[in-house]
Amino acid sequence: MRAVIQRVTEASCKVADEVTGSINNGFLVLLGIEDADTQEDLEWLAGKIVNMRVFGDENGLMNKALADVNGNILLISQFTLFAATKKGNRPGFTRAARPDKAIPLYETMINQLSQLLNKEIQTGIFGADMKISLINDGPVTITIDSKNKE
């Protein structure tokens, strides 16, 4: 499981000109799911996301996590995070999980993050053509891969 986490002052997702999710102050999380991913990967990654200390404290240092700043999450499924680009110029996506595996893990991630933060998680729509808008704060952008825990 792979995540690109962007600290934002605002972010939103539209599908067919309808807003499906919108946040102020928090994380826009792009989530890629691969066939090898398990519930253990999901729980580990969810814990990393909610405990990531990248918000400024009273000294301007990145010492605060989402809960410390009453932050929110906009979670977007993004299979392209597993693009294979070594050969040619057209990416391959064979590592990305098929919808029958990815959708249940995506939905479980929504529930896991919601439980950890004790608030609703905003989302896009799995598999839809989404338009994402954001204002990256900092900018702060961090990538995490559950297969690179050490």
Pair 53, 63: CB distance under 8 Å: yes
What is the enclosing helix (H) or strand (E) of 31?
Answer: strand 18-32
**Which amino acids are annotated catalytic?**
80
Count the alpha carbons within 13 Å of 143 in the hemisphere toward its beta carbon. Answer: 7
DSSP string for 76-122: EE-GGGG-B-SSSSS-B-TTBPPHHHHHHHHHHHHHHHHHHHTSPPE
d(CA 23, CA 72): 6
